[in-house]
Structure formats: structure tokens, C-alpha cells
Amino acid sequence: MKDNHAVPDLVGGTPPYTVRRSREQMVRDVREGLTTTPKQLSPKYFYDERGSELFEEITQLPEYYLTRAERYLLEKKIPEIVASVGPCSLVELGAGSATKTRIILDAMRENGCAECYVPIDVSKDFLEATALQLQADYSDVRITPVVSDITEPFAIPPVASPTLVVFLGSTIGNFPRGQAVRLLSHVAGGMGPSDRFLLGADLVKDPEIINRAYNDSQGVTAAFNLNILERLNHELGADFPVQDFEHRAFYSTEHRRIEMHLVARSALIVVIPEIGEIRFREGESIRTELSYKYDRATLEDILAASGLSMESWMPAGDGAFALALSRVES
């Protein structure tokens, strides 16, 4: 990565670096989201510790093909990617439990260089637990967690090049095109010519398969979705009657995206002390997540608009998921 010794918005001289996330920002976002029509909340607010745990459960559901497909691709493709890039540092956006990341760290070690791993995530406690576990299992690798919101410009501590920057789990799908380009442009701006960016993305497919993945039979995705209201109750003192909201997720073929909503079962009024009264009509919803599905051309276009040029496209055999490796445009 390019030298970034300033790291101005990182707090504390030693890891874990933490960007101060202001409660005011959360209040502002929630006020804006719940007082506009249609109502919406950013999916980043899913991820308190409970939300991160629920997401881990989702990755193990039979219906949630994304994690299995990506893991399979990583196992197949990472050895050759690592051999050709020769990374000494690994930076990961939205790292979560970093379970699949171990495939990359193992390959880097085998290739003879695994100096540093920088997992970046907004879910502070979960990230710190992930980092501690990784440090115990990879004592020879410097693990430097960064708690940061990647929807804002974020800083990465100085790491040795070549760096492999990875963004897995199709988290990119949560960002409409403009936001995705803003985020990836920021990543590209920090990359040098020997660095590479590896993206994992879910692909357009039979809507039934996609719909099942977001409407699992055990109700884990529903619990994950509803947890955002529990979080607003805990952190902002809101009084959402969580049982009066229902999980709804559907695939829009027009927009090529899943939309996840929380639908009010009846007319109700919620009070959030710093915001005031929020009124819901029966059947009115809060949109909590978009998850775009891609094809190669769309992703290539987003990457190019961000200053990245796709070097390698690695789709799964059944076309469910793909990895894309890119470099900065010269």
C-alpha cells in the first residue's frame, strides 16, 4: 500500500486502532432514515456483537449458498493468486469472523511471506475477539485490527507491499453503484502498482435460490434483521415493539437485488428519545438492506469507474458466485 503514516483518524498509537464512531452519527442516520419515506436504516447497524454472531449462524445455513461457494473458490484459486501477487500484507474490509481469510493467510505463509493482517470492521467487540483468536493461531503474523466504518473515508495503518486487499462475502452488494464506486475509489487510491484487490461477489441467478438464501427455514435471517430494532432499543433507548415487526426479503429482477424489510404488523408509534415519535401505518416497512447481484460486465464497470482494472475473473462452476482480482489502473 502507499505510505500512509499519518493515519489521522485512528485513535491510539497501538492496535487495536479504533475510529471514534460518534453516537451522534447514529442518531443522525436513524433520524434521517426513519423520517423519510420510504423508511430505511443502513445495514451497517445490523452489526453489533449479537448481529455479528447471527450473521455467523447465517453463513452455516443450508440455504445460504454464498459462503460455501466463496470458500470453495478461495480454496481453489488462492494458491495461484498468492503465488503470482506475492503479498506480504493482507488487508480485509468487513472482515467479520475472518474464517475464510485463514485460507489466504495459510497460502501466504506457505509462499514465504505473511507479515501483517489488517482486518477492518465496524463491529468492534466482534472484531477484537476475531483478532485475538487469529493472533493466537498465527503468532508469527502481526494482526492489526481497525475498527472503522468503510462508508466513510478510512485509514489503513502502514503495511509492507505487496498488499492483497480483500473484500469478501459479497458485502459490496450492500452498496448501490455510486456508494460502491466511492468506497472502491478510496481503496484504489491507497494501492500501489504491486498491490491487488480481490473481490467476492454474488451473481445473478434463479430468483428462487436467492430468495431462499434470505428467507431461511430456521428464521435466523429474520432474527438478524429484527436485531437492528433490538439494537436501537438498547443503544438509543427506543421502544420498538420488536414482535410487532415482521421480516420480509424479496428479490427484484428489475433491480437485480434482494431487498430486506421490517414490516409493521399494525399501526404503531415508536418513541426514540433523541429523535421523537416515529409513526408506522399497518404494513409500512423499514428497508434495512439491499444486496445487489452481479454479472461480470457490471462488476468490471464498477471497478473501472473506481480506477481498478480487472485482471482475472474467477466464477464458480455453477455460476453462483465469483472472485475478481484487480489492480490499479496505470
Ligand X SMILES: C[S@@+](CC[C@H](N)C(=O)[O-])C[C@H]1O[C@@H](n2cnc3c(N)ncnc32)[C@H](O)[C@@H]1O
Instruction: Return residues touching ligand X (CB under 6 A).
Output: 44, 47, 52, 55, 59, 67, 94-96, 100, 121-123, 149-151, 168-169, 171
Q: Quick one: 52 or 163, whose CB is closer to ligand X?
A: 52
Q: Quick one: 188 or 199, whose CB is closer to ligand X?
A: 199
Q: Pairing relation of β-strands 146-147 and 116-121?
A: parallel
Residue 309 contacts residue 303 (beta carbons within 8 Å): yes
Q: What is the DSSP letter of 160?
A: P
Q: What is the DSSP letter of 203?
A: B
Q: Quick one: 104 or 122, whose CB is closer to ligand X?
A: 122
Q: Quick one: 121 or 195, whose CB is closer to ligand X?
A: 121
What minimum distance in Å lies between the beta carbon of 190 and ligand X? 16
What minimum distance in Å lies between the beta carbon of 194 and ligand X? 24
Dihedral sign, Cα of residue 32, residue 34, residue 40, residue 41: positive
What minimum distance in Å lies between the beta carbon of 103 and ligand X? 11
Spatial CB neighbours of 69, under 8 Å, sequence gap ≥ 6: 316, 318, 320, 321
Q: Quick one: 59 or 89, whose CB is closer to ligand X?
A: 59
Amino acid at 236: L
> Cα separation of 270 and 209, whole Å?
35
Q: What is the DSSP letter of 329?
A: -
Burial class (CB in 10 A: 0-12, 13-18, 19+), 144: buried
Q: Quick one: 64 or 245, whose CB is closer to ligand X?
A: 64
Q: Quick one: 96 or 162, whose CB is closer to ligand X?
A: 96
What minimum distance in Å lies between the beta carbon of 171 and ligand X? 4
Distances (CA, A) of 317 to 72, 137, 296: 10, 32, 14
What minimum distance in Å lies between the beta carbon of 130 and ligand X? 9
Q: Quick one: 55 or 214, whose CB is closer to ligand X?
A: 55
Dihedral sign, Cα of residue 50, residue 52, residue 55, residue 60: negative
Which residue has cell 511471506?
Answer: 113
What minimum distance in Å lies between the beta carbon of 330 and ligand X? 29
What minimum distance in Å lies between the beta carbon of 94 and ligand X? 3
Tally Cβ neighbours within 10 Å of residue 67: 21
182 φ, ψ (degrees, to nearest 5): -60, -45
What minimum distance in Å lies between the beta carbon of 265 and ligand X? 27
Dihedral sign, Cα of residue 129, residue 133, residue 134, residue 136: positive
Chain centre distance of CA 276: 30
What minimum distance in Å lies between the beta carbon of 127 and ligand X? 8
> Cα separation of 81 and 128, whole Å?
28
Amino acid at 125: D
Q: Quick one: 122 or 223, whose CB is closer to ligand X?
A: 122
